[in-house]
Amino acid sequence: MRDVYVDVRNIFDPTVPGENFWLFRLANVLHIETRAAVIRRELLMRPGDQTDTEQIEESERNLRALPFIKDATITPQPMRTVPSICTSKTQDSWTTQPQFNVASEGGQSTYSAGFEEITSWIRERFFVFYKKTVDGVTHQWGTTTHSS
């Protein structure tokens, strides 16, 4: 294989009927697109390698197993001369998760609300929370590393 082209698509495709809605376009703007290096990291084939159908199919499965990838296809493009080129086409998935918790114990109510975002390139979760407890109101933000 001579090279692997990476084509990362956004969450919503405005050319698809029903996905050209202002809210979906806003989500695409706010979403951090998966970097090509992240896709290449998951591929079992590299430029200069011999590749086969099994490697391509397993690479597609590896990509689809990632929580921030909705779909993945890898298409070999035969050339008149060897080696060939592969195109890896992926579509990102929405990974921002709203969080809301309410609890009541001993006549005291507590609640928290916030958002959590999984990032693909550094394998961390970003979070922002607003909490009201018996001790008062707090704001939290930060990151936590998650396993792959």
CA atoms within a 13 Å half-sphere pointing along the CA-CB vector of 77: 10
DSSP β-ladder status, 136-145 and 108-118: unpaired
pLDDT in tens, the chain (148 residues): 788 899 999 999 999 989 999 988 888 887 878 889 889 999 998 888 888 889 999 999 999 998 889 899 999 887 666 557 788 899 888 777 777 788 888 887 877 777 766 665 445 555 566 677 667 777 676 666 655 4
Side chain identity at residue 116, one-letter code:
E
Domains of the chain plus CATH, in order, are: 3-92 (3.10.20.310), 96-145 (2.20.130)
In whole angstroms, give the CA distance from residue 125 to residue 116.
Answer: 7
Query: How many Cβ atoms sit within 10 Å of the Cβ of residue 95?
Result: 19
The pLDDT of residue 148: 46
CA distances from 118 to 23, 70, 96, 131 (A): 20, 14, 7, 21
The pLDDT of residue 58: 95
Under 8 Å between Cβ of 124 and 143: yes
Global pTM? 0.65
Helix (H, G, I), strand (E, B) or coil at 57: helix
The pLDDT of residue 23: 87
Residue 3, strand partner residues: 85
